[in-house]
Amino acid sequence: MTESEILSYPIPSDLALEPPAEWAELRAKCPVAHVRFASGDPASLVTRYDDVRAVLSDPRFSRGTGKKDAARVADTDDGGLFNSEMATVLPQEGEGHLTWRRLVGKWFTAKRMAALRPGITAMADQLIDSMIEKGGPVDLKAAFGFPLPVWVICDMLGVPDSDRDKFSYWSDCMLSMTRYTQDEMVAAMTEFGTYMAHHVELKRANRGDDLLSELIDATDADGRPLSTAVLVATGQGLLVAGHETTANMITKMVAMLLADRSRWEQVLADPKLVRSTVEEALRFDANAGFGMVRYIDTEIELSGVAVPSGTTVVCSMAAANRDESTFAGADELDLTRSPNPHLAFGAGAHSCLGQALARTELQVALETLLRRLPTLDLAVGAEELVRVDGLAVGGLSELPVQW
C-alpha cells in the first residue's frame, strides 16, 4: 500500500467481528491514507490512536457542513445525513454549540442515568419475558438489542409507546448511505420532521417530565428560547445518535461474548466485570461504522505527514482502538482491561453526548441477559454471522440465539 494508492472507504470487510487486514498495515505504514467515499469525493483516512485523538480533540475542526469542498459521505444527491438540514440547524461549533450541548447535556449526566437505570432494567426484563414466552431460537437483535434503546429514547422525548416502531424505521432510513434510495431517505426525514414538529407543539401545550419539555423552557446563548426547528433537530439528532448505535452495540457485544463462550462464562462467574466488559466490547468493535469526519481548514501535521488546508479527514476510531502503541494486546479481548481509554465515543468537545446513557444501556442489557438467560448461546456458528452494510453504523444482520 503506497501513499498514492486510493482506497475505497469504508474499507470492505467480509468477517462480521474481525477488523479488515488493512488497518494494521495503514497504522504501520500509511497513517494518513488517501481514500474515496461512496460519493466519489476524496478524503484522508487517519488510523493511529494519537492522530485520531488529536484531530477529534482539536477545537479548530468541525464537520465542515456547508463547506463547498468538504467531501460528501453518501452517494445520494445531497450527500446523506451529515449534509442534511438537521445537521445544519443545530449549532456546530463555538459558543452556540457549547450552549446547546450544555442544555442537552444536563439530561445525560451520570447521576441522571443512574436514576434511569431501574426503568431501563424493567424494559430489558419485559423484552426478555417476551423472548422466553416465544421460546428460542430468536434473533436477539430484533427481540432485544433493537427495541431497548428506541424505547429509552422515546421515553426521553415523551413519545407514546405506540409510535416506537415509526421511530425505528425513521432512524434506519436516516443513517443510510446506500441501503435506501434518496426518495426514501427524504420521505423518512420529512415524515419524521413533521411528526417531531407536531410533537413539539403538543409538548408546548402540555409539558411533561421529558427532555423536550425542559428544552422548550430553556434559552440559547443570547437568552432567546430555542426555535421549533432547533427542538425538532435535537429530537432527530438524539434518535439518530442514540438508537441504531446502541442497538447494534448491544448485539455486537453479546456476539463477541458468545463467539467464544468462555468470555460469557467469565462475566457470568464475576458480574463485577460487567463495566469493564462493556468498555472492552466498545474498544474491540471492529465493525463500528464510518468513523468521524473533520474538515481541516488550516494545515496540520499528523505522524509527520502534512495535511493541507481543505482536506476532509475521516477518523477511524475503531482502527485507533486496535493501536498496539496504546493498548497492549490490542487484538485480544480482555474483559478486565483497565484503564481503557478507547475512542468509541470520539474525543473532545464533540465526543458522544449520550455516552453515559449508552454505557448504562449496555451495562443493563448485559446484566439482565446474564441474570435471566445464563445459558444463552449462539444458535448458529460465529462464522455464519453477517455484517450489515450501507448504514453509517456497523452492525450484524441478525444474532440467532438460544438458551
Partner 1 sequence: MKVIVEEDKCCGAGTCVLVAPDVFDQRDDDGIVMLLDEAPGPELHDAVREAVSVCPAAAIGLIE
Check residue 108 for interaction with partner 1 (CB under 8 A).
yes
* Maximum pairwise Cα distance, the chain: 60
Cβ closer to partner 1: 105 or 374?
105
Per CB under 8 A, which region of 102-110, 191-199, 238-246, 260-268 contacts partner 1?
102-110
* Identified binder of partner 1 from the candidate list 2, 14, 68, 111, rule CB under 8 A: 111
* Helices marked H in 74-162: 85-89, 94-105, 110-134, 140, 147-157
Per CB under 8 A, which region of 101-109, 168-176, 239-247, 385-393 contacts partner 1?
101-109
Check residue 381 for interaction with partner 1 (CB under 8 A).
no
* Identified binder of partner 1 from the candidate list 42, 345, 371, 389, rule CB under 8 A: 345
Per CB under 8 A, which region of 229-237, 355-363, 367-375, 384-392 contacts partner 1?
355-363
Check residue 338 for interaction with partner 1 (CB under 8 A).
yes
Residues binding partner 1: what is the number (CB under 8 A)? 28
C-alpha–C-alpha distance, residues 74 and 70, integer Å = 12
Per CB under 8 A, which region of 159-167, 195-203, 314-322, 343-351 contacts partner 1?
343-351
Check residue 346 for interaction with partner 1 (CB under 8 A).
yes
Check residue 359 for interaction with partner 1 (CB under 8 A).
yes
Q: Which residues pair with 224 in a beta bridge?
A: none
Q: How far is the CB of 276 from partner 1 (least distance, A)?
A: 10
Q: How far is the CB of 110 from partner 1 (least distance, A)?
A: 4
What the block records as the C-alpha cell of 42 is: 476524496
Q: How far is the CB of 360 from partner 1 (least distance, A)?
A: 9
* Identified binder of partner 1 from the candidate list 67, 102, 134, 198, rule CB under 8 A: 102
* Identified binder of partner 1 from the candidate list 7, 229, 352, 370, rule CB under 8 A: 352
C-alpha–C-alpha distance, residues 262 and 226, integer Å = 51
Check residue 109 for interaction with partner 1 (CB under 8 A).
yes
Per CB under 8 A, which region of 100-108, 123-131, 140-148, 388-396 contacts partner 1?
100-108
Residue 303, amino acid: S
Cβ closer to partner 1: 143 or 366?
366
Q: How far is the CB of 368 from partner 1 (least distance, A)?
A: 19
Q: How far is the CB of 371 from partner 1 (least distance, A)?
A: 21
Q: How do strand 300-302 and strand 305-307 relate by DSSP bridges?
A: antiparallel
Check residue 356 for interaction with partner 1 (CB under 8 A).
yes
274-293 binders of partner 1 (CB under 8 A): 275
Check residue 400 for interaction with partner 1 (CB under 8 A).
no
Site string for partner 1, 40-69 (x = CB under 8 A): -----------------x------------
Contacts of 90-97 with C-beta under 8 Å, sequence gap 24+, read: 90/230, 90/233, 90/234, 90/237, 92/62, 92/63, 92/65, 93/59, 93/62, 95/221, 96/220, 96/221, 97/349
- Answer whether 177's CB lies under 8 Å from 283's CB: no
By CB under 8 A, name the binding residues for partner 1. 57, 101-103, 105-106, 108-111, 113, 275, 338-341, 345-353, 355-356, 359
